[in-house]
Amino acid sequence: MKPFFFFFLIQIFLTETLSAQKNTVQLLNQERNCSYRGLSVVDDQTIWVSGSNGTVGLSTDAGKNWQWVNPIGYEKIDFRDVEAFDENEALIISAGSPALILRTTDAGRSWKEVLKDARPEIFYDGFTFTPKGIGIAFGDAINGKMPLLKTIDFGQTWKDISLNLTYTIADGEAGFAASGTSIFSLPTGDFWIATGGRLSNIYNSSDQGETWQRYSCPIVQGQNTTGPFSIAFRSPKNGIVVGGDYRNDRNSEKACFLTNDGGKTWRASSQPVSGFKSAVIYLSSKQLICTGTSGTDLSDDQGKTWHYISPESYNAVQKAKKGKAVFLAGDKGKIARLVY
């Protein structure tokens, strides 16, 4: 009995040790002093990041080593979002004027401008793509109109579809370029855009950006620092928005809402997130992760309740499109992975 009892104790110890190591955020890299807000994870090995000072990074070994493939001549540009299709092909989009979209097909060794908008007031917040290469980019309103771009060829060419969205955008209503995830798409061709600031709205298209509907969102709003910073859906009906007030990032009131009708109506999570969040994604149909300057939270019940797993500040989180790996990126050059 004694050997069996000893073996039983060993099993308990190993189980508890492995359990303690799960659901933790592990820092992988911090060699660049810049703020990352763009993050795209192709598979369990291939990660792209983008951010301030014209910085673009590529790792093909799950974040252990990085190639810094910054576009030459764009050193002062803040690339707030990146969309990668494999280890060679990727797109980056800038925040502010001029608005730029650059494309590489050779792992960042060279970049080509595929869009430039030099209007002084232009400011794009992010873009999103379906697996078939249909993408939409959106920006802050100019004279009440939301700038919208669409591509059907993986970003090689872009078309202005701003007139498709017929709603007038209110003064003080804008998007947030905090993580590139205030716009979201499903493979079905459904697209959502979340705006905040003075008031918060959700814009939804179920036909690849041809027509749009607008729904109000009850998330905290009213100031230029408040609103939904990230939106995600697991189906055309079921989704989530997170955000808050980034100047008061410990306040969790009205920072997370769920929908089961495509964004028409929203209900608050029963146990809130731990504070301001700038990015949220589904890890599975039930499990979600969100992150922000207040730290990182997990949910195991479709976002109804949340538990805090890390106090470290991050801006973006993404799961591998083909795989299970989850990575985070943030300020001060931080790149991390979720152990779960």
| H/E run at residue 78 | none
DSSP tag of 332: G
Q: Is 271 exposed, middle or buried (0-12, 13-18, 19+ CB in 10 A)?
A: middle
Q: What is the pLDDT of residue 19?
A: 44
DSSP state string for 257-290 = EEESSTTSS-EE-SS--SS--SEEEESSSS-EEE
Distance CA 120, CA 168 (A): 20
Q: pLDDT for 195-223, tens place per residue? A: 999 999 999 999 999 999 999 999 999 99
Q: Is 105 exposed, middle or buried (0-12, 13-18, 19+ CB in 10 A)?
A: middle
User: Percent of the chain scored above 70 by pLDDT?
Assistant: 94
Domains of the chain, CATH where assigned: 26-339 (2.130.10.10)
| H/E run at residue 85 | none
pLDDT beneath 70: ranges in the chain: 1-21
Q: What is the pLDDT of residue 22?
A: 87
Distance CA 209, CA 165 (A): 8
Q: What is the pLDDT of residue 6?
A: 47
